[in-house]
Amino acid sequence: MVDVAKLAGVSISTVSHVLNGTRRVNPQTRRRVMKAIEETGYRQDALARAVRRSKSESIGLIVSDAGEPAFAEMVHGVENAVAKRGLTLLLANSAESAEREEAALRSLLDRRVDGLILARAAASAPTVLDRLRDGATPLVLLDRIYQDEPFDQVGAQNRQSTLSLVEHLHAAGHRCVAVVAGDTRVPTLAERVAGFEDAVRLLGMDPTMQATIAVSDEAEIQAALSHALRHQQVTAVVALSTPLAAAALRSLSALERNVGPDVAFATFDGFAYPDLFHPHLTTVHQPAFDMGVAAVAMIAARMENSDAPPQTLRLRQHVAFRESTADWAP
Amino acid sequence: MVDVAKLAGVSISTVSHVLNGTRRVNPQTRRRVMKAIEETGYRQDALARAVRRSKSESIGLIVSDAGEPAFAEMVHGVENAVAKRGLTLLLANSAESAEREEAALRSLLDRRVDGLILARAAASAPTVLDRLRDGATPLVLLDRIYQDEPFDQVGAQNRQSTLSLVEHLHAAGHRCVAVVAGDTRVPTLAERVAGFEDAVRLLGMDPTMQATIAVSDEAEIQAALSHALRHQQVTAVVALSTPLAAAALRSLSALERNVGPDVAFATFDGFAYPDLFHPHLTTVHQPAFDMGVAAVAMIAARMENSDAPPQTLRLRQHVAFRESTADWAP
DNA sequence: CTGTTAGCGCCTTCAT
DNA sequence: ATGAAGGCGCTAACAG
């Protein structure tokens, strides 16, 4: 910066001001400075600038499972929105571990990110957000919504979507449904279970004839499904996430039940390229990319106006009814 | 930091030294400082530290297409390796655009990342790496390998894998193959095409009976495939990436050719959960996660020893032979 | 319209 | 074994 100033015959202060457009400067000198910058190949040091302004022009994102396609999509959406605003994205993955989540949070905060987007880990510690309660750094909770937290949040309408899905199954004649629910500490999954229970009640289905399988391990899922199919006359299976769907489909295959004719099947989130996946699976599609975009928008809004009440945004999910729930007959 | 120093009754200099373990300090005072840090809830400012040391403890990653599953896996691998080293990941997506790539590069460099991992965009400008030629910031080129660039690189053994694949098809009786190649400015795809040409030569296949379809648009792919199937008696189709495979499979479906019995099919990179995808597709699996991990390792090595000659690492791909190339008969 | 100067929070000689 | 002091590169009063 000193070099530029010297070459242009001005003070570094002027250089700073032409760079930031932060005060009027004579077009003549302005030109000279620009030329000097060009010739010098000078680039502003974003870090020093951030230290001085205590604003880093960056936002941090912590996802709970970078391997899941839905989260990969959210990362994609966040990256897009962040880049569009000229910010930089700092990415971390907690891999569903409370320790890694805590460490990532500290690290990003130490880097003075201007905002933080967090999809909490399944095992997330209740105290992990304490250091953010003062609102110094805007936080938005992504995907996994915690009712009582005083933060902005973005998720999907899990409860209603599950209801629509089960209504559809009920209309097709299904009376006994098995839900592969996984780790129900995850609010997203708990909401979907709650939606299922809503449906059971509303549709007058017999609660004792339904099965909620709250495990994640494939072998356990298979055992539970086997039991449900044989002893509870379950005719439809609903998986609450992509990895659970994979485990369930493998289990059904091992149990020699054909998806479609033998047992109806539906899933949340689903697989990439659903039109190429056979059989075509009835799927509740999460607007993962848009959720990422929305999260960034909320951060931006919060940076403008920090004392508005926290807001929870739930995006609509698209329910695609396909083959896997069409070929079964009572 | 001043607060901590005051509370412990020492100078900030001592605080700095206990924090960094950068010189011997009396266990007594050391304790006092630690306690003061605890009570104050003091955290080091990573940015100020980076400015002073001109080392940011972060690495930048630019991918060319965050939507492709293979790149999502690489991001995952890079994130993992970076976190394991206690560094922070800055992520950007060029979306195959030279401008966005250039912008991302500048932005990350301005943030003084300690190393940079780049999967170049298809349209990448030849000059984009010029500012890195001096070696001040270690760079590793990921996935898309450029022969003549004097940088560390990590990719896959595309040429040999393609050869194995085509040998397999040839052994099954195929003599005319269509390759859906997409944008062959992408070195990865060009290498796979080269591997195909190697195979044609080595196996004595008639070059005029092969089709290389170097477009990405689905309608164009369908038209070209239609022509190749009818007028060139093509019996096997090979797609060189996941999106190309999706387009090709849709095209074949539109042309009413059954994958397997009517026409053999193989793809690179493939779809998630291949065991659930029907028909099971013969696939050359890229070790995308490991490529990401390896890229970080190379950055780390380069930071130790900057004057070793640049190295190109090619990881082996796993070729899984499955149904889609098993059911066809001459 | 422009320059001088005092920090931002930290590390690191140089003294003691 | 510890402190004092000078910057890292930058911005933002405060002066002219």
CB contacts, 8 Å: A92 with chain B: 79, 83, 88-89
Contact B276 A249 (CB under 8 A): yes
B212-221 mean pLDDT? 98
* pLDDT at A285 > cutoff 90: yes
What percent of chain A has pLDDT above 70?
100
* pLDDT at B48 > cutoff 90: yes
B166-176 mean pLDDT? 97
B289-312 mean pLDDT? 94
Contact A47 B112 (CB under 8 A): yes
Would you call B136 an interface residue with chain A, using a CB distance cutoff of 8 Å? no
Which of A72, A91, A100 is opposite residue B89, by nearest beta carbon? Answer: A91
Average pLDDT of every residue of chain B: 96
d(CA B322, CA B327): 9
Question: Residue B126 class from Cβ within 10 Å (0-12 exposed, 13-18 middle, 19+ buried)?
Answer: exposed
A146-164 mean pLDDT? 97
Nucleotides of D under 7 A from a protein CB: 1-5, 7-13
* pLDDT at A330 > cutoff 90: no
Which of A66, A109, A278 is opposite residue B278, by nearest beta carbon? Answer: A278
d(CA B131, CA B127): 8
Query: Which of B 43-102 lie inside 8 A of A, CB atoms?
Result: 43-48, 50-51, 56, 58, 66-67, 69, 72, 75-76, 79-80, 83, 88-93, 100
Which of B50, B109, B272 is opposite residue A69, by nearest beta carbon? Answer: B272
* pLDDT at B290 > cutoff 90: yes
Contact predicate A221/A248, CB 8 Å: yes
d(CA A154, CA A281): 26
What is the per-residue pLDDT across A28-44, written as a single tens digit (0 to 9) for each? 999 999 999 999 999 99
pLDDT of residue B271: 94
- Beta bridge mates, A312: A153
* pLDDT at A329 > cutoff 90: no
Find the Å distance, CA of residue B52 to C1' of nucleotide C11.
Answer: 6
CB contacts, 8 Å: B48 with chain A: 51
pTM for the full predicted model = 0.95
Question: Shortest CA distance to B61 belongs to which of B115, B13, B21?
Answer: B115
Find the Å distance, CA of residue A1 to C1' of nucleotide D9.
Answer: 8
| Residue corresponding to tokens 């607007």 | A287
